[in-house]
Amino acid sequence: MLRRGDGVGIECTRRLVRGVRLDAGQDGRLAAAAEVGITDADDDRAVVDALVRLRAELGDTGGVTRIATFPPASTMHRLDVTGSNGVDLNAVRAQLLREQHITSTLLLDDGPRLWLLAVRWDDAYVRRVEELAERAGFVDVTVEPSPVAIARVVSPRVTRIRRDAATDESFDSLYDSGHPVVAASVDSVGRVAPALVMTEAEFSPGWFDEIEDAVELVTEIRRFVDGLDDRTTAGDPTRLRLAGVAYPMFPPHDLRSPERQCVALGAAVGAAGLTGRLRPVDVILPTVTRIDPLDRPWAVERLSNLPPKPDPATIGPVKRAIGRVLPRRSTKD
């Protein structure tokens, strides 16, 4: 029977997948943790094989599953949509699609305020991951950005998180009172994955309100984080919380360590219903262009190869006059 507190969280990268399973009846809630490599991220069978092995390592995965991912070249920024109704939100989404080619958005509740997170990522990759996870046997699968997932297990005082999930897959994100403000993929040159860096340095969230361009967004995030090295605590496990309970201090080489499972833990907390209201990622699908049948002459099927039937002979005026004079032969004869 599905209970509140049961859930599966997965962090998906192109090189490996990490996952945790939470159990409401387990002491500390964490029931299992696993990590499986992916031999070829472009091969569906290889990805499904990794997810199947991950599911086998986690054990009973009949609960809700949330997958967190943030592929390379991804960005995220927020828009204030407090007081907007459904029509207004659709207008904002349409504007994001038209002006910035952003098709994915996520509503985030922050007390009386309502934020719309505009996520610029590879939509085809995200839909593919969701489909392959369901094919591997996971139940009720949804996908969300990793910066959103990790915010559920860190202190509200944390303002900056640097996550190195795998080689060439890192992101920097800024937070205000536990809610994401901006996030962007960054270079991982010289970094050792997995790694987790968190900072409590103050910044002005309004600085990023008018920044929507991806390149400018990455530039401003780098400008903020460049001077934070002296005030950074790297991979402090005591900062992670599972529904208000301190997460154990597992060593870095342990599969359950915060450096490895911080994103998966955040996704699992959301799947288990241990946080606030969760909303799905809204995706605007591209409209299907109708094709004129005349533009596809090869689609016209030939019905018959027989020659056309000749027109029936018409009755001339002479035969018509004779027919009036001569008596008609009875059909009984």
Position 232 scores a pLDDT of 44
Which residues does residue 309 pair with via DSSP β-bridges, in sequence order? Answer: none
Q: Using CA atoms, how far apart are residues 126 and 143, in angstroms rounded to an integer?
A: 7
Position 234 scores a pLDDT of 47
Collect the ranges in the chain with pLDDT lower than 70. 1, 227-238, 286-304, 313-314, 323, 325-333
Q: Domain limits of the chain? A: 7-276
Domain 7-276, CATH class in plain words? alpha beta
Position 105 scores a pLDDT of 96
Instruction: Decide: 4 and 273 in contact? Cβ < 8 Å.
Output: yes
Instruction: Decide: 136 and 51 in contact? Cβ < 8 Å.
Output: yes
Instruction: Decide: 194 and 166 in contact? Cβ < 8 Å.
Output: yes
Instruction: Decide: 9 and 58 in contact? Cβ < 8 Å.
Output: no
Q: Which one, of 74, 58, 204, 217, lies nearest residue 133 by Cα?
A: 58
Position 298 scores a pLDDT of 55
pTM here? 0.82
Summarised one tens digit per residue, pLDDT across range 263-310 is: 999 999 999 998 877 788 999 876 545 555 555 555 556 666 777 777
Instruction: Decide: 88 and 105 in contact? Cβ < 8 Å.
Output: no
Give CA angle at 50 (183, 273), nearest 5°.
55
Identify whether 147 is preceded by a cis peptide bond (ω within 30 of 0): no
Burial grade of 228 (CB within 10 A; 0-12, 13-18, 19 or more): middle
Position 182 scores a pLDDT of 95
